Amino acid sequence: MATEGLVRTGISAGQEAIGAFARRHRHHPLEALPWAAAVAAFAVFPSYLPLGSQILATILFALSADLVLGYAGIVTLGHAAFFGTGAYTAGILAANGWGEPITGLLAATAVAALVGLLSGFVVLRTTGLALLMQTLVVATLLHEAANKASFITGGDDGLQGMDVWPIFGLFRFDLFGRTAYVYCLVVLFLGWWVARRVVHSPFGRSLTGIRENVLRMHAIGAPVVRRRLVIYTISAALAGTSGALIAQTTQFVGLGTLSLDRSGGVLIMLIIGGVGRIYGAFIGVPLYMIAQDRFSEIQPVYWYFWIGLLMVLVVRFGRGGVLGLFDRLRR
Amino acid sequence: MSDTFSAVVSIGFHGIAFAMVLYLISVGLSVTMGMMGFVNLAHGVFAMLGGYVLTSLMNRLGVPFALALAGAAVATAVASVLIERLLYRRLYGGDELDQVLLTMGLIFMSVAGATYFWGPVQQPMFPPRWLSGQIDFGFRSFPGYRSFLILCGAALVTVLWLGLERTSFGVQIRAAVDNLRMAQSVGINTSRLFTLTFALGSGLAGLGGALGADLLAINPSYALDNLVYFLIVVAVGGLGSIRGPFFAALLLGIADTGFKYLLPELGAFFIYALTMAILLWRPRGLFGRV
């Protein structure tokens, strides 16, 4: 019976799709790769550990940006607002007599989440250019505030005199950056775990729905506004954690943590790796930061030219970044 | 004359001059945004280019001011047509993220390019002799060049608004902003209209950048530093509106000058807070359509 066969293949195809859907939150063996690479880098490049911990912290920042940009489809030019808030919170605590790193990190995360919640309440009411402009205004506002409140932030000179205590009172931040590297790696792992859980939860699926078709999500009764606000807050919190990591490990916070350069830079790193796929951050950030470390010392200004050109070329030819390229090769 | 009154007049005067520059630069951005739905963050690059062309022509080649102004506008318009045809055109109606990335990339390239050709320092702008110094208006005297800015801006705004109301080109632009598909259906060549509008908007930006070269200093990071101002004017004014940005520019210009004069230690902080408050109250801007 032809029809029966057809129905049966239809059913099995359906089951296969359901199976694939159910399996996709499970851990793929390849997902161990970045962690293996990070541990290997610790052993192989002992003299590059300070750069390594910067890269790890920035991966967390890019990951947080991927949550709003790649999954919720909110294009932002002001993600540095939360990064800088976290950095300054941790920095000001450490410079004023509370150098305990873990509580500092948690405080920075909480403050950044609060800033995300409050600004998201205003910003997410709009879309398109107006939204873009408001994210930029929030970051510029905080930049200006940090610049003018120099009695507490150090203003243009940056925040100096941070004293970060040993982790758990045991592990000092050493000169070679070993403690900093492991600290960043552990925090990144926790952040990645949170992000992965969020993305693969029903909540994360509904975010993708909002990105792809807002009207439809409204129509089926999904609380669109609240969900966007929640992911914006989660993302802001993770960005704050990342900023605090950089502040604690470098023992310095500058106005650059709140700048448009940083907001734009994280977008570029994500695009190079691939947006909306969690692991884009793990590829784009190291590529960008290692290249910057190599080339920008020679001629810092012209570094911008090549980055700009790269962005134009990626938009023109290379959608999906490095990971997108792999997808296309596999097909 | 009392000091308070004098301060108010002074703030109003300098604020309006600043507003004229902001409006000339930003109006093109509002129209391209409204018509083509294109997020052109690199709009400030055209204003910067106008400023560089003007200062180079005047300072290096000794070209007269009026001629250099015209040169700035024309050079920017021509450059913008090239960029529109080569890069922007493919992304109309496309992904917003792509547009943001492409135009941010152009800004970064402009920073490096300007440093390569003109060096990292600010380009000085010397107004011609007939505009430097003070002009006496009877009850008090005002700086000559700023007065010229206001008059020149007012004249350009009048011509622009009349042109949009009275000419057939203006009608086509308004039709395309209101309803693109309907405009295409009645036989308007929107592809050519896009290019012409884009050239006009960029030319005006170039002119604004050139005229305002002593207000918004011409240096390599111009497009990056002033991006937030141009975006505020457009978003507060209402996307696609031609009059909205004028009032937004007036508000921003006067408020910015006022706050910096009265509360210098708080700087631009109030401007940003005010912007957020306005958009909380009216998310689509003051003159945006619902």
Contact across the interface for B275 and A137, Cβ inside 8 Å: yes
CB B100, CB B38: distance < 8 Å: no
Residue type for A9, please?
A: T
Residue-level pLDDT at A1: 45
Cα separation of B250 and B143, whole Å? Answer: 19
Please compute the mean of the pLDDT values over residues B221-232 and round it to a whole number: 91
CB contact under 8 A, A309 and B275: no
Q: Are A195 and A64 in contact, with CB atoms under 8 Å apart?
A: yes
Residue A296 has what pLDDT?
Answer: 72
State the maximum Cα–Cα separation within chain A, in Å, rounded to a whole number. Answer: 84
Q: Which residues of B touch A315 (CB under 8 A)?
A: 91, 98, 101-102, 105
- Could you read off the pLDDT of B105-135 as tens digits, one per residue? 999 999 999 999 998 889 888 888 888 878 7
pLDDT for position A253: 93
pLDDT per residue as tens digits for the range B229-243? 999 999 898 887 888
Bigger pLDDT: A203 or A304?
Answer: A203
Nearest to B273 among A75, A141, A312 (CB): A141
Distance from CA of A269 to the nearest CA of B (A): 11
- Residues 6 or more apart whose CB falls under 8 angstroms from that of A190 comprise none
Residue in B closest to A134 by C-alpha: B276
Give the integer Cα–Cα distance in Å for B142 and B144: 6
| pLDDT greater than 60 at residue A6 | no
Cα distance between residue A308 and residue A264, in whole Å: 11
Q: Which helix (H) or strand (E) holds A306?
A: helix A300-317
Structure tokens at A85: 């808030």
| pLDDT for position A292 | 85
Task: Answer yes or no: are the C-beta atoms of A136 and B231 closer than 8 Å.
Answer: yes
CB contact under 8 A, B224 and A314: no
Q: Do B105 and A312 touch (CB under 8 A)?
A: yes
Per-residue exposure over B143-163, b if at least 16 CB sit within 10 Å of its own CB, e if not: bbbbbbbbebbeebbeebeee
With beta carbons less than 8 A apart as the criterion, state whether B283 and A130 touch: yes
Identify the band that residue A29 occupies on the pLDDT scale cut at 50, 70 and 90.
confident
pTM reported for the whole predicted model: 0.89
Residue B88, C-beta contacts closer than 8 angstroms, at least 6 positions apart: B38, B40, B102, B198
Lowest mean pLDDT among A16-25, A52-61, A235-244, B35-44: A16-25
This model of the complex carries an ipTM of 0.86
Residue A258's pLDDT is 93
Q: Which residues of B touch A122 (CB under 8 A)?
A: 276, 279-280
Residue of B87, B100, B275 with shortest CB distance to A75: B100
* % of chain B with per-residue pLDDT over 90: 42
- The predicted pLDDT at position A43 comes to 86
In this prediction, residue A8 has a pLDDT band, given cuts at 50, 70 and 90, of low
Enumerate the residues of chain A whose CB falls inside 8 A of the CB of residue B220: 301
According to DSSP, residue A159 is labeled B
Q: What is the pLDDT of residue B177?
A: 83
pLDDT, mean of residues A184-198? 95
Rounded Cα gap, residues B47 and B201, in angstroms: 10
* pLDDT over 90 (residue A165): no
Most confident of A237-251, A282-296, A317-331, B266-280: A237-251
Q: Give the one of B106, B268, B269 whose C-beta lies nearest to A308's C-beta.
A: B106
For position B290, what pLDDT does the model report?
47
Reading the block at residue A141, the tokens are 């506002």
B230's tokens: 């141009």
